[in-house]
Amino acid sequence: VTWTSDAVKGVIGKGGANIRATEEATGCKIDADVEAGTLAITGPSAQVAIALTMCHNAAFGEVQDVLELGSRNAVNVVYGPNFQTIRGLQDSTGCRLDIDRGTTTLKLSGSAEAVANATAQIRALLDANRGFEMTIENSKVGSVYGKGGETLRSIQDRTGTQIDVARGPTHATVSVMGSMEASQRARNMLQRAIDGEVELKPGEVAEEVELGSATAAVIGRGGSNVAELEKTHGVKINVRSELQKARIVGRAENVAAASKAIQAIAKPILDAEAAQKKADEQQASGESAWQVDEGDDDADGW
């Protein structure tokens, strides 16, 4: 038979105790290859069947069950940091737990009592770490990940949550698993990342600049102006087009310089808009720079 290397190790047992006991009890010869994950049992057919059952129980326990975890987040919750959680579950229940690489299916093996106990503990663990899901535009996924995944890792490390992002055609689903308190902290941090709110480091300040109709001009083609402003002034700039605002983060003197540069881009556009608005209002009210009152003597020449 071909099983896994771990299963064959279970057949052999500590110091070969299991395999010797099976051979002595059945009179069969058992050859176990851990690397290949195979067992070769030779002897009378009836005894081979008994030996196979004994080997199976030694490898997988008296009872086998599977539990579909449903997501990679759930898998990571069961594993725990440095696999501490899954090891603790095995130690406390006496149940063997295995998750094949690349799957979300948990295999449980051991006595009926151990499997039932482990199943109950795992379900309770997942329920306590239910978390939440949020939907964001695909354009915001980069903000969640951050440069090289730095933002996402930081949120996970600081909150102890597990976070997974699944893109769709236009929107992405952000799945978070963790305790209620940890999940709420993660939600707040994710929202700040989505909104572009860079966390201030020691010595940094933040300033918000109203852009109005000059928003597109400040951003520049493909974000070129923002990139140039960030490079020139050593700041981080987040422009929220829907609010027509820019948030600048950095050293006070750098933020002031960047703010001045942004206002220099925006002012001519905003001034022109204000002048046009005033002219439109005058025209709507019947006033005009060219309008002459009937009693104005200076108009006699006309």
89: its two tokens: 């579950």
* Residue 140 confidence (pLDDT): 87
Cβ-based neighbours of 13, under 8 Å, separated by 6 or more: 19, 21, 58
Read off the pLDDT of residues 58-70 as tens digits, 9 standing for 90 and up: 887 776 788 999 9
**Residues 245 and 211 sit within 8 Å (Cβ to Cβ):** yes
pTM (2 d.p.): 0.53
* Residue 283 confidence (pLDDT): 81
* Residue 286 confidence (pLDDT): 67
pLDDT lower than 50: segments of the chain? 299, 301-302
* Residue 13 confidence (pLDDT): 85
* Residue 129 confidence (pLDDT): 95
**Residues 135 and 102 sit within 8 Å (Cβ to Cβ):** no
Read off the pLDDT of residues 191-233 as tens digits, 9 standing for 90 and up: 888 877 766 778 888 888 999 999 999 999 888 999 899 999 9
The CA distance from 147 to 143, in Å, is: 8
**Residues 185 and 229 sit within 8 Å (Cβ to Cβ):** no
Secondary structure in 3-state letters for the chain? CECCHHHHHHHHCHHHHHHHHHHHHHCCEEEEECCCCEEEEECCHHHHHHHHHHHHHHHHCCEEEEEECCCHHHHHHHHCHHHHHHHHHHHHHCCEEEECCCCCEEEEEECHHHHHHHHHHHHHHHHHCCCEEEEEEHHHHHHHHCHHHHHHHHHHHHHCCEEEEEECCCEEEEEEECCHHHHHHHHHHHHHHHCCCCCCCCCEEEEEEECHHHHHHHHCHHHHHHHHHHHHHCCEEEEECCCCEEEEEEEHHHHHHHHHHHHHHHHHHHHHHHHHHHHHHHHHCCCCCCCCCCCCHHHCCC
* Residue 287 confidence (pLDDT): 60
**Residues 285 and 278 sit within 8 Å (Cβ to Cβ):** no
